[in-house]
A and B are shown apart, each in its own frame.
Chain A
Amino acid sequence: MQVPAHVEYEKAASLEDALNLLVRYGPEAKILAGGHSLIPMMKLRLVQPEVLIDINGLTELCHITVTDSQLHIGALARHAQLLDSSAAGRHFAILHDAERVIADPIVRNWGTIGGSLCQADPSEDLSAAFAALKGTMVISGTGGSRTVSAREFHTGPYETVVGPAEVLTEIRVPLAHVSGSAYLKVARRAGDWPVGAAGAAVWLDGDTIADAGIGLTAVGARHFAAAEAEEYLRGRPAAADVLARAGEIAAENCRPVSDQRGPADYKRHLACELTIRVLRTALRRARENAAAGGYAA
Chain B
Amino acid sequence: MRIAVTVNGTEYRREVEPRLLLIHFLRDELRLTGSHWGCDTSNCGACVVWLDGTPVKSCTVLAAMAHGREVVTVEGLANDGELDPVQRGFAQCHGLQCGFCTPGMMMTARWLLNRNPDPTPGQIREAISGQICRCTGYENIVRAIRWASDYEAGGSR
Asked if B65 contacts A106 (CB within 8 A), the reply is: no
Could you tell me the distance between the alpha carbons of A36 and B58 in the complex, rounded to whole angstroms? 10
The answer, yes or no, to whether B7 is at the interface (CB within 8 Å) is no
Residues of A within 8 A of B121 (CB): none
Asked if A56 contacts B54 (CB within 8 A), the reply is: no
Q: Which of A5, A11, A40, A105 contacts B126 (CB 8 A)?
A: A105
Interface centre among B19, B55, B108 (most CB of A within 10 A): B19
Please count how many residues in chain B sit with their CB below 8 Å of the partner chain's CB atoms: 30
Q: Which of B55, B62, B64 contacts A106 (CB 8 A)?
A: B55
Q: Which of B18, B56, B62, B131 contacts A109 (CB 8 A)?
A: B56
Known: A2-B41, A9-B18, A40-B60. A191 touches B130 (CB 8 A): yes
Query: In residues 1-36 of chain A, which contact B (Cβ within 8 Å)?
Result: 1-9, 11, 32, 35-36
Asked if A5 contacts B19 (CB within 8 A), the reply is: yes
The answer, yes or no, to whether B61 is at the interface (CB within 8 Å) is yes
Asked if A36 contacts B1 (CB within 8 A), the reply is: no
Asked if B127 contacts A105 (CB within 8 A), the reply is: yes
The answer, yes or no, to whether B4 is at the interface (CB within 8 Å) is no
Asked if A107 contacts B127 (CB within 8 A), the reply is: no
How many Å from the CB of A192 to the closest CB on chain B? 9
Total contacts A to B, CB within 8 angstroms?
A: 79
Known: A1-B40, A105-B130, A110-B54. A7 touches B60 (CB 8 A): no
When each residue 17-42 of chain B gets 1 if its CB lies under 8 Å from chain A and 0 otherwise, what string results?
11111001000000000000000111
A residues contacting B by CB (< 8 A) are 1-9, 11, 32, 35-36, 39-40, 42-43, 52, 54, 56, 80, 103-107, 109-110, 190-191
14 contacts between A and B (CB under 8 A): A6-B17, A8-B18, A9-B64, A32-B62, A39-B21, A42-B19, A103-B130, A104-B45, A105-B108, A106-B108, A106-B130, A107-B42, A110-B51, A110-B57
Known: A3-B24, A7-B18, A36-B42. 13 other contacts (CB 8 A): A5-B19, A7-B19, A9-B62, A9-B64, A11-B67, A35-B62, A43-B40, A54-B64, A106-B48, A106-B131, A109-B55, A191-B129, A191-B130
